[in-house]
Chains A and B, each alone.
Chain A
Amino acid sequence: MAAGGGLWNRRSEAGGRPPTRFLITLGAFGGASIIDSFLAVTDTEVSPQVGATLNVFPRNEVVASLDHPFRGVNRTAAPFFGETYVGNQGAFIDAHHGNMLVATQTGTSVNHTLGQQRSITGNGAWNGRTLQEAVSIHHGEGFPLPNVTMGALGFREDGADDSVPAWARAHSISDPQRWPLSLDGLHGIDDAPTRDVLEIARSVRDQSLDPHTRFTRTFLLSERLEAWKRMRGEDVPRLENAGLLEKLNFGLDDPSLPPFDPADRAALDAAFGHLTVDPLQMQAAMAYLLIKNGLSVAVTLSPTWNVETNPDATGEEHRIINTPLSFDYSHTQHRHTQTMMWRRMLNTLDPLIALLRGAQHPEAPGESLFDHTVIYVATDFGRTKNRPEGSLGFGTGHGLNNGNLLLSGNLLAGGTLLGGVDPSTALTYGYDPLSGAPMPGTEMPERVMYSGILQALDVDRSGSGLPAVPAMLPA
């Protein structure tokens, strides 16, 4: 197991606090439907008349096991843009069912942005504070960039809680491949003055020029100016002195840059097939490196609306790799887009989990980072459940009723399904947050998911009024 670490400065040794816990939020941008994956309904579970107008699958496309409560859809989306795309959820479940928790949920918005935002705030469950902000406040103090987002749209937005300190807000990364350049003022700049010269110039600026201007005196009360000076004085040296380029620069191969850690290079190359061209794989790689190197405790990633392509095996043709959402594919080709959506999510999660499993938690000898991480597959919303009678190429709309996939090495009740699905309607139903007992006829509000995730991450929720959800925790 590779040793993580780096900027970890603290804790178990000094204060006896439990090891730091981490949250990775993977946004299933566009809406990932839980009945097109782990709660799939087969046509054999309903009458032919009902099944003909519901989003149910042929029995031979759904896999199940006595070892766990999850189902998986194994089907091929074909032909789709002239290509076939095989969705094999069963393989993912076989590999990870012991670390999976699926819980039902019914959202409150079918607007993409609002749905995404509410998926990370529990619909304003705690004064509008995002999950990531809450985790940062509890676990991230002292980390250079505790809360990093690479997600898009609503998954990227800050929460509405003004009491969240600035350092716990999300730090935005737009391009994981080149972002490490912004961690050092000099590396990679050809013919630049030496670092000594740069530091002399910075010192003159910060010590002799800036403090004495009328501008500074006039705007003495500016919080933005104060924050800028604080970042310059504290964050910049901290980031630069940590030698982060060689720890995070997985994407730029240039002789002017410090060489990337060879062990991490080998691990990333083994995990990801298209790290140089796939933005989501780049995000996942960066998520791993940020956590492993002790920079962050909450990392968010997601694809976007855009069509993204990968070279195929020959390197000559390009295949669409993300879920095409624009031009109404998601509304007119439900099965195919959901096959693509879940394929994309699971193909990102699988290598990410492998990396986290292979890295030792610096504060917990013998335990992996995955043991102390919750991965939350957030989604805008679900999809409507009906289809035209007998149609296989049907479209769906945005639907509130849905559920979510969570994963963890050791922080969740692995292998657990909370709630269930009513085959006669394909609608999910709720569960008792205390016992986990299924409760047909009920629906789970967003705040339960929100609270359960924070509880699994041991976040202090005192005074929040959030419900206890022990059903999500390990026995």
Chain B
Amino acid sequence: MRLEASSFFVSLLLIACGGGPAGSSMTGTDGGESTGATAPDTSPTTAGSSSSADTDEPPEDDSDGGTDTSEEPPPPPTSPTANLHFKGPQRLENDLTAVLELDPEQLCTEVGGASCTQEVHKVALGGVAPYDLGIYTPAGIGATAPIAVDRLTLQACMRRIDLDRESSDPVLFAVPQLGGGTADIGDPSATAFIDALYTRALLRHPTEAETETLLLMHADIAVSDSLLPGRDWGVATCFAVLTTTEFLFY
């Protein structure tokens, strides 16, 4: 697996930004308000069996509640301006290709082979089409945008998971398969997969609750009509994380 390098760079980035995984992510407080301060045991350090493990250890004097503290982190302040923006087609394409290590043309195509981000859903996702359609300014994000995002992300996640399942050197998904097409979510690679998604996409580690929620999703999929529940769990986990508002807005 190639989790190590990306986790290493994410950790460096977060530390450089002040606090980073030490102050928040590693404690599981960067994304979840309700979890305790206990450090998830699914950090890249443990999940990736990486030579960079040491760099992921949080500083002991972390002021935001490092991995050892059991104090409930203070709730984040609510932004009075809340000036959020939807990423739009180009940023989504850039971020998804980076997170999933795919080429843009691998991300998503619709019936007929047209690109989701550059053609079919470009305007729906807030893009412009000045030359062919005379759309010079972004249209508002309408009711079909969430569906377009879902189609884009679902296909991108399918590509990544399917490539990884066939690869001897998977990028993200290396969870062993069990009987009936299920996945061995007890294997450390399952939590490593989740952690890698979070660190790559959201620049933080998942909280315990988030990890647990996503692992539990496997049970629901296993009793659904899925014929490949292990694979579909990988796709669904990727999809769920990469369509969170935390990923879609900046």
Which residues of A approach B to under 8 Å, CB–CB?
29, 144-145, 152-153, 156-158, 166, 169-175, 178-179, 181-186, 188-189, 191-194, 196-198, 200-202, 204-205, 208-210, 212-225, 227-229, 231-232, 235-236, 239-240, 252, 254, 256-257, 304-306
Contact = CB atoms under 8 A, between A and B. Distances in A.
A217 to B, nearest CB: 5
Nearest to A154: B134
Given A193-B226, A213-B31, A228 B146 contact: yes
A219 B146 CA distance: 19
A305 B132 CA distance: 8
B240 interface: yes
The CB with the most chain A CB atoms within 10 A, among B80, B85, B151, is that of B151
Contacts of A183: 144, 147
Interface in B190-214: 209-210, 213-214
Interface string B132-154: 11111101111111111011001
B154 A185 contact: yes
A222 B81 CA distance: 7
Closest 3 CB pairs of A and B: A152-B134, A172-B139, A201-B236
Contacts of A181: 110-111, 120-121, 151
Given A209-B240, A213-B31, A224-B86, A239 B143 contact: yes
Interface in B65-94: 75-86
B232 A193 contact: yes
Given A189-B154, A214-B33, A235-B146, A174 B86 contact: no
Nearest to A257: B111
Contacts of B239: 198, 201, 205
A209 B213 CA distance: 8
Given A175-B120, A228-B141, A220 B136 contact: no
B22 interface: no
A204 B140 contact: no
B249 A219 contact: yes
B63 interface: no
A175 B134 contact: no
A224 B249 contact: yes
A216 B246 contact: yes
Contact of B147 (A170, A229, A239): A239
A367 B236 CA distance: 48
Contacts of A200: 217, 220-221, 224, 236
A192 B152 CA distance: 12
B226 A196 contact: yes
B123 interface: yes
B34 interface: yes
Interface of B: 24, 29-34, 75-86, 110-112, 114, 119-124, 129, 131-137, 139-148, 150-151, 154-155, 158, 162, 209-210, 213-214, 217, 220-221, 224-226, 232, 235-237, 239-241, 243-246, 248-249
A323 to B, nearest CB: 14
B125 to A, nearest CB: 9
Given A192-B158, A194-B232, 7 more contacts: A189-B158, A198-B154, A200-B224, A213-B244, A219-B84, A222-B79, A222-B249
A154 B144 CA distance: 22
A231 B158 CA distance: 24
Contacts of A153: 134, 136
Contact of A213 (B32, B81, B124): B32
Contacts of B148: 182
Given A210-B244, A213-B32, A228-B248, A182 B140 contact: no
Given A205-B244, A214-B33, A191 B158 contact: yes
B121 A182 contact: yes
B236 A229 contact: no
Contacts of B136: 153
A421 to B, nearest CB: 31
B226 A178 contact: no
Contacts of B83: 222
30 contacts: A145-B142, A153-B136, A169-B140, A172-B140, A174-B135, A175-B120, A182-B120, A194-B232, A196-B224, A196-B226, A197-B235, A198-B239, A202-B150, A208-B209, A209-B213, A210-B246, A212-B33, A214-B31, A214-B75, A215-B245, A218-B77, A219-B82, A219-B249, A220-B78, A221-B80, A225-B249, A228-B146, A236-B150, A256-B111, A306-B132
Contacts of B86: 224, 228
Contacts of B82: 218-223, 225
Given A182-B124, A210-B245, A235-B146, A188 B79 contact: no
Contacts of B243: 205
Contacts of A172: 123-124, 135, 139-140, 142
B155 A189 contact: yes
Contacts of A217: 33, 75-76, 78
A172 B128 CA distance: 11
A194 B226 contact: yes
Contacts of B110: 178, 181, 188
Nearest to A170: B139
Given A200-B217, A209-B213, A178 B112 contact: yes
B31 A215 contact: yes
A322 to B, nearest CB: 12
Nearest to A194: B225
Nearest to B110: A181
